[in-house]
Amino acid sequence: MSYKFFGGVHPAEHKEATEHKAVVPLDEAPAQVVIPMSMHVGAPCKPIVAVGDEVTVGQQIGETAGLGAPIHASVSGKVVAVEPRPHAGGDKMMSVVIENDFKDTPHPSIAHRENVDSLTPQEIIDIIKNAGITGMGGAGFPTHVKLGGAVGKADTIIINGAECEPYITADHRLMLERGEAVLGGVRLLTRVLGLPVATIGIEGNKLDAVEHLRSLIPDGDTSVKIEVLKTRYPQGAEKQLIQRITGRQVPPGGLPADVGCCVFNAATSAAVYDAVVEGKPLTQRIVTLTGGAMERPQNVMAPIGTPLTHLIKQAGGFKVDPQRLLMGGPMMGNPQFNLDAPMMKGTNALLALTDEEAAIQDTEQTCLRCGRCVNVCPMHLTPVYMHMYAEKRQWEAVEAFNVMDCMECGSCNYICPARLHLVQSFRMAKFEIRGLAAKKKAKEAKA
């Protein structure tokens, strides 16, 4: 039985620049890495090292304070600063700065685990937690929390290999080059959840990855199923992927576990394998350096905390002045203005768009009411009306159109022939609505 998710768009993929390029290590390791204490959903970590400390690769340098995942050193060397540094989110964030000694001394605790088959589910969850694994698709939800919360509740496990954002090929290359690790991670996650079968969803523009993974699954093994998905953005969004694979819809404000699903990114799955089998915490990841303005587009394996300037240098600098530098893809990526900011656990791409590529600079025209936004909204919203009320600053009216369900995928904004800045307007509305709700709560608390 095959299901569909509603709406979506199909922007030009632009994956050709990097999809056939094997992942390479950095030509030159960064002299310094800046590791922010917040690379996940939840509270920032507390640094547990001080200036002058010698650290090794994989040594824990940040401990959780509430919801979160611990953070580890990605290079060996000396801590030279523990201070707020520019963060990709825009503001400054407490970071640990490590001067690289270029020795890559591993932490003594890192060792291949022999007894993997005898680990209990709880032990595996603890290993994942201590390895600091967070969702590597972008959002960065701590994996052990997601996994722990789904045990006993989830009847379906889905691995997200959709990579629906244009330009990005990090997961594609990972599945091609480290297919065993991805599948190994899938088996571990499935085991923790006690489920008989896992489904990997991969979009049809990565058929080589599909074939490769299928070739790695022994004949007669039914514990991993690979489903080829018709390429359509935002297929890789958690709710849409669940809908596409199972036909179930996550209720408003709910979690995948509410409909018995648990979704992990392909890269997260490989990280789980590395942590459980190889004993390695999450200290490096694949980043796609691409976009029309990059001199040498490529997929690179980089230590977490590598400054963006260093990644740009790796790609040979800019061919032309980029209009925009994005962390992530062109649909949901985060624009960067300070190149000293570092890449993080969820950074799957660094994208330098030229003036022509970032065509969104077009001025806004008037809404035609063409209804294309309504027909592409995967969350069944009516952006045309939401925008109309948001422009009039009638926040309650916008809320009545369920603007809080909007996940800011940008499909409506992409398709709009009048080039209205719809997502911006909905972000604004959500911000205002949250503000109003907080005010109301404060008032009630007073009374």
Q: For residue 351, give the nearest of 11, 50, 46, 91 by alpha carbon.
A: 11
* Cβ-based nearer residue to other proteins, 74 or 240: 240
Q: What is the nearest approach in angstroms of other proteins to the Cβ of residue 151?
A: 23
Q: What span, in angstroms and rounded, lies between the C-alpha atoms of 60 and 282? A: 10
Site mask for other proteins (CB under 8 A), range 237-256, x = bound: --x---------xxxx-x--
Q: Which residue among 143, 306, 323, 347 contacts other proteins (CB under 8 A)?
A: 323
Residues with Cβ within 8 Å of residue 396, at least 6 apart in sequence: 436
Is residue 324 near other proteins by the rule CB under 8 A?
Answer: yes
Q: Which residue among 39, 71, 287, 331 contacts other proteins (CB under 8 A)?
A: 331
**Cis-peptide into 234, omega within 30 deg:** yes
Is residue 235 near other proteins by the rule CB under 8 A?
Answer: no
Q: Is 63 helix (H, G, I), strand (E, B) or coil?
A: strand
- Identity at 98, one-letter amino acid code: I
Q: What is the nearest approach in angstroms of other proteins to the Cβ of residue 361?
A: 7
Is residue 397 near other proteins by the rule CB under 8 A?
Answer: no
Q: What is the nearest approach in angstroms of other proteins to the Cβ of residue 83?
A: 21
Q: DSSP state, 134?
A: B
- Identity at 86, one-letter amino acid code: P
The stretch near other proteins (CB under 8 A) out of 103-111, 122-130, 149-157, 382-390 is: 382-390
Is residue 30 near other proteins by the rule CB under 8 A?
Answer: no
Q: For residue 143, give the nearest of 260, 279, 49, 266 by alpha carbon.
A: 266
Is residue 260 near other proteins by the rule CB under 8 A?
Answer: no
Binders of other proteins: how many residues, by CB under 8 A? Answer: 64
Backbone angles phi, psi at 11, to 5 degrees: -70, 160
Strands 32-36, 46-47: pairing kind: unpaired
Is residue 423 near other proteins by the rule CB under 8 A?
Answer: yes
Q: What span, in angstroms and rounded, lies between the C-alpha atoms of 133 and 126? A: 11
Tell me how crowded residue 149 is: count the other CB atoms within 10 A of its CB: 14
Q: Identify the sign of the CA torsion 272, 278, 279, 280.
A: negative
Is residue 413 near other proteins by the rule CB under 8 A?
Answer: yes
Q: Which residue among 191, 421, 432, 433 contacts other proteins (CB under 8 A)?
A: 421
Q: Which residue among 158, 193, 213, 416 contacts other proteins (CB under 8 A)?
A: 416
Is residue 91 near other proteins by the rule CB under 8 A?
Answer: no
Backbone angles phi, psi at 170, to 5 degrees: -60, -50
Ordered DSSP codes for 106-160: BPTT----S-GGG--HHHHHHHHHHTT-B-TTSS--BHHHHHHHHTTT-SEEEEE
Q: For residue 260, give the nearest of 270, 251, 269 by alpha carbon.
A: 251
Alpha-helical regions (H) of 301-366: 308-314
Q: Which residue among 8, 161, 185, 410 contacts other proteins (CB under 8 A)?
A: 410
Q: Which residue among 151, 191, 375, 397 contacts other proteins (CB under 8 A)?
A: 375
Q: What is the nearest approach in angstroms of other proteins to the Cβ of residue 49?
A: 30
The stretch near other proteins (CB under 8 A) out of 151-159, 220-228, 328-336, 429-437 is: 328-336
Q: What span, in angstroms and rounded, lies between the C-alpha atoms of 103 and 8? A: 47
The tokens of 446 are what? 């007073």
Is residue 9 near other proteins by the rule CB under 8 A?
Answer: yes
* Cβ-based nearer residue to other proteins, 201 or 333: 333
Sheet order of strands, 77-86 included: 32-36, 92-100, 77-86, 54-55
Is residue 318 near other proteins by the rule CB under 8 A?
Answer: yes
The stretch near other proteins (CB under 8 A) out of 16-24, 116-124, 214-222, 363-371 is: 363-371
Site for other proteins in 339-358 (CB under 8 A): 353, 357-358
- Identity at 221, one-letter amino acid code: D
Which residues of the shown chain bind other proteins in the complex (CB under 8 A)?
9, 11-12, 166, 239, 249-252, 254, 318, 321-326, 330-337, 353, 357-362, 365-371, 373-375, 378-382, 384-385, 402, 405, 408, 410, 413-419, 421, 423-424, 427
